[in-house]
Amino acid sequence: MLAYLIRRLFNAVLTLLVVTAVTFGIFFLVPKATGTDPALLYIGKTSDAASVEGIRVKMGLNDPIVVQYGKFLKGLVAGRDYANGPDVQHCPAPCLGYSFKTDQEVTPLLLGDLPVTLSLALGAAVLWLIMGISTGVISALRRGTVLDRVVMGGALAGVSLPIYFTGLLASAIFVYWLGWLPQGEYVPFTESPGDWFVQLILPWITLAFLFAATYARLTRANMLEILGEDYVRTARAKGLRERAVIGKHALRSSLTPIVTVFGLDLGALLGGAILTEKVFNLRGLGYQALTAIQGNDLPIILGVTLIAASFIVIANLIVDLVYGLIDPRVRLA
Amino acid sequence: MSLGPEASIKEESTAPVADAADGRGGETAIAGRSLKQIAWRRLKRDKVAMAGAIVVIFLIVVAILAPVLTKWFGHPIDEYHIDQIDPTFSTPIGKFGGISREFLFGVEPTSGRDVFSRILYGAQTSLSVAFLSAVLSTILGTIFGLAAGFLGGWVDAVISRIMDFLLAFPQLLFAIALVSVLPDSFLFFGDRWSRVFVLVGVIGFFGWPYIGRIVRGQTLSLREREFVEASRSMGARSGRILFKELLPNLAAPILVYTTLIIPTNILTEAALSFLGVGIPPPNPSWGGMLSDAVTFYSIDPMYMIIPGGMIFITVLAFNLFGDGLRDALDPKAR
């Protein structure tokens, strides 16, 4: 078990290294391909050649890419000093550098965005798990009925609807036409839990609808497969009530694949729900990443990619560990 | 997905290699005559899937005929019709986004461009990107999946690791990043088709591990089957086993997953265009129209509903058809 854990952690770190290296590589090529100089982005176009060169030296933009990447990694672990002669700026670990555009330190900037993304993803996750699994189970138990067809038809429609359409449609209907929900922006939970809830309810429902559709289809398919298994027949034959057959025998094993998918979906969302955040104007990690990409702001892009990839990798790890707990047939080795 | 091997085991030597890697092969691309007939009969009985197929064919025809149809029923895509626009709100004067006999889907806010024509040309881009990237994913996925499953050992280890790695990637983030790095126009293509190829490359590249995993898994189990062993004992070389024994048996799952990856690609293309890194304006795209609609949707909802509805109908039709195809090809189907 311990050996397994160590190996997995080693692999996780390796994956993260490769992700950041690839990101670094790609965005090192951006300025070359498009002819934009990061130093110019950093200081503004009007500056004279000497101060631009100063910035280059200070940010290490003159170093070869490998050296720059090495310094980035060092900053991540041990913090880093940006120095040009007497002008020294210290960036404590975990240092993700400074934004080329606004000169803000990236780590606190992204930490500030994290609550928005966390609120969005976790709230939606609770909703879609409840909605998706319950409709999937009901659909499987009432297989072939009108209810099943309606629910599955709805789920298929849900899978086919992009969030950048449902999101706009939902806010057009509930905010502008019916006026049930106020216009406005994200409010931190610590500031006003009520407003936080009101502002997030539409993004939650929209996002959850999309995922619930997928989960309902998945749950129904798994459930139907399990209901056809011999052990379910045995459970019925030995006189268990239907409730116990479904709840204890069928549901548990049909949910194991859902755990895998859920972990990966949640992991991916925590790294920034770019589309949802864009549609609902939520300033989370995804929104930050999008603005950064459009402005070639390498340090922010790297930071978000690293956080996003970490969430996915951690989610993967947790899923595998949890899998061993809920399914005794799986042995970790 | 156990059907591939089951059904065509008797047919394996006569089965055509077919255009397994070509997503547009339709039902005819399935290997093994008997399987083809069984599947076709099942598919014909599935009314919902057939409806999906009809909508898909209709959309393809419309996209191909876009230049002709806009000439007959619409206006050039870049022609401004300021007279259709209310100067104070920059929204269409007519009701429902300016829908009239002359402008079938209304006009665009601010510029008054014909939405009908722009939707048709948008269908062209959307479908070409989706099809071509599905083909690319399928080719890559089949090659690497076959290699990993058949060769095993370190090849399998490397390919599997790459697939895991790609699946663990913040993909949309990377697609946005890559698309914004790659050049706007290259060779002799204009900026519209250059960007189409860039999108095909990026979407197709991130899509291959999904198909690759399935092909690998199927190959792993097929490799151990008796007919492969028999073939090998008769002295067949790896090439023959790969292309004559394994690939025909993989055609069914490959076809199904290619069909099911197309709607995902449509959504991704529209998402990228919505985020402003897809098809560059003034070229029409559904995602781009939705992104323009953000400014106007509270006063001119029609301009949002039409492209959004088109995306929905197209994706739904492909999903219905793909689901039907899977059920038709899979005897275990519900």
Position B13: which residue type? S
**Average pLDDT, integer, range B257-286:** 86
Chain B nearest-CA distance from A87, in A, is 33
List, in sequence order, every beta strand (DSSP E) within chain A: 80-84, 87-91
Confidence of residue A42 (pLDDT cuts 50, 70, 90): low
In this complex, the residue of B169, B263, B287 whose CB is nearest that of residue A160 is B263
Determine the Cα–Cα distance for residues B128 and B144; give it in Å rounded to an integer. Answer: 24
3-state secondary structure of A22: helix
Confidence of residue B95 (pLDDT cuts 50, 70, 90): low
B chain contacts of residue A29, beta-carbon cutoff 8 Å:
181
**Confidence (pLDDT) at B7:** 42
CA B177 to chain centre: 21
B chain contacts of residue A27, beta-carbon cutoff 8 Å:
177, 181
Query: Chain B residues within 8 A (CB-CB) of chain A?
Result: 165, 168-170, 172-174, 176-178, 180-183, 263, 267, 270-271, 274-277, 287, 290-291, 293-294, 297-298, 301, 304-305, 308, 311-312, 315-316, 319-320, 323, 334
Residues 273-332 of A with CB under 8 A from B: 274-275, 278-279, 289-290, 293-294, 301, 304-305, 308-309, 312-313, 316
Residue A14 forms contact with B (CB below 8 Å) = no
**Confidence (pLDDT) at B101:** 67
Residue A33 forms contact with B (CB below 8 Å) = yes
**Confidence (pLDDT) at B219:** 87
**Average pLDDT, integer, range A227-236:** 85
Q: What is the pLDDT of residues B139-158, one digit of tens each?
A: 999 999 998 988 888 988 89
Q: Which of B255, B247, B256 is nearest to B13 (CA)?
A: B247
Q: What mean pLDDT is reported for chain A?
A: 81
Residue A17 forms contact with B (CB below 8 Å) = no
**Confidence (pLDDT) at B6:** 41
Ranked by mean pLDDT, the top range of A49-53, B64-68, B89-93, B167-171 is B64-68
Residue B4 has pLDDT above 50, yes or no: no
Determine the Cα–Cα distance for residues B295 and A297; give it in Å rounded to an integer. Answer: 26
Cβ-Cβ contacts under 8 Å between A and B: the total is: 116
- Name the fold adopted by A106-326: MetI-like fold (1.10.3720)
In the block, tokens 């394994």 appear at: B246
**Average pLDDT, integer, range A54-71:** 76
Instruction: List the single residue in A with minimal CA-CA distance to B274.
Output: A164
**Confidence (pLDDT) at B5:** 42
Confidence of residue A298 (pLDDT cuts 50, 70, 90): confident
Confidence of residue A284 (pLDDT cuts 50, 70, 90): confident
pTM: 0.82
Q: What is the pLDDT of residues A94-120, one digit of tens each?
A: 878 778 777 788 888 888 888 889 888
Chain A nearest-CA distance from B315, in A, is 5
Q: Which of A238, A260, A248, A239 is nearest to A322 (CA)?
A: A260
**Confidence (pLDDT) at A110:** 87
**Confidence (pLDDT) at A130:** 92
In the block, tokens 């998402």 appear at: B271
A chain contacts of residue B290, beta-carbon cutoff 8 Å:
164-165, 168
Domain boundaries, chain A: 2-91, 106-326
Chain A nearest-CA distance from B56, in A, is 14
Residue B12 has pLDDT above 50, yes or no: no
B319:A308 CB<8 A: no
B173:A274 CB<8 A: yes
Ranked by mean pLDDT, the top range of A169-173, A183-187, B109-113 is A169-173
ipTM of the complex: 0.81
Q: Point out the least confidently predicted range of A237-246, B7-16, B24-33.
A: B7-16
Residue B19 has pLDDT above 60, yes or no: no
Determine the Cα–Cα distance for residues A119 and A121; give it in Å rounded to an integer. Answer: 6
Residue B54 has pLDDT above 80, yes or no: yes
Residue A303 pairs in a beta bridge with none
**Confidence (pLDDT) at B291:** 85
Instruction: List the single residue in A with minimal CA-CA distance to B323.
Output: A156
- Find out whether B285 and B192 touch, Cβ atoms under 8 Å: no
Ranked by mean pLDDT, the top range of A197-201, B15-19, B69-73, B108-112 is A197-201
Residue B20 has pLDDT above 60, yes or no: no
B chain contacts of residue A270, beta-carbon cutoff 8 Å:
none
Q: Which two tokens stand for residue A92?
A: 């404590």
B316:A157 CB<8 A: yes
B chain contacts of residue A26, beta-carbon cutoff 8 Å:
174, 177-178, 181
Q: What is the pLDDT of residues B173-226, one digit of tens each?
A: 778 877 776 666 666 666 677 778 888 888 898 889 888 988 888 888 888 888
**Average pLDDT, integer, range B124-145:** 92
